[in-house]
Amino acid sequence: MTKAPKSHSPAATAPDMSAVHPDLPSLPFKVTAIAGRTSTHVRFHPSAPERAAIAQALGLLNLPVLTFDGDIRPAGKRDMVLEGKMAATVVQPCSVTLDPVTTRLSEAVRRHFIADYKLPEADELEMPEDDSTEALPEVIDAVTVVVEALALALPLYPRAAGVELGEAVFTEPGLAPLREGDLKPFAALAGLVLKAKDSDKA
């Protein structure tokens, strides 16, 4: 089991999971209903079917654990901030062998919703200093934020124990993967054949 580093946070590059996968669970908070509160607690501990839907949306083999605990609070006169801690255990296919790889994730999640948010002009498209900001919607769906954060936290190239990154795997659907190491005896045999031919010529 591996533990992923804490390195992902950009909300600007996260996919809109709710639009692409409408079957995902939701936890909506209407902004007008919570704007006057000091803080609104957010707790998302999805059921097994809900985790299965999220796993399918993210291309995971399994999602045995996913929790989020945090709050939504006002920021200034009209803005809102959703902040909390996400923990997850994900199972992905190894990028080399396709074997299951389990990774534990622990991420601080923060999203700043700005009422007067303005998209940058085409000639000003640069990576912003605060990439956790976005426009304030009428309804904040906490699950959308959590799933996007989970998608960004996933290891890009999960590897099974003992597998080297540069190792190649050859397989056809329905067959066991043939690793590069499995081909080495044949390469050695071919080398011996070539040496024998060179000896005959001499």
Confidence of residue 76 (pLDDT cuts 50, 70, 90): confident
pLDDT at 127: 52
Over the stretch 89-99, which tens digit does the pLDDT of each residue have? 999 999 999 99
More confident residue, 100 or 172: 100
Lowest mean pLDDT among 18-22, 78-82, 131-135: 18-22
Q: Where are the domains of the chain?
A: 2-153, 169-201
How many Cα atoms are found within 13 Å in the side-chain-facing hemisphere of 165? 3
Give the separation between CA 50 and CA 48, rounded to whole angstroms: 5
Distances from the Cα of 78 to the Cαs of 8, 12, 27, 107, in angstroms? Answer: 27, 21, 21, 27
In tens, the pLDDT along 33-54 reads 998 888 999 999 999 999 999 9
pLDDT digits (tens, 9 = 90+) for 99-153: 999 999 999 999 999 988 777 665 555 555 556 888 889 999 999 999 999 999 9
What is the rounded distance in angstroms from the CA atom of residue 159 to the CA atom of residue 102? 9
Strand partners, 80: 74, 113
Across 154-166, average pLDDT = 83
d(CA 21, CA 52): 13
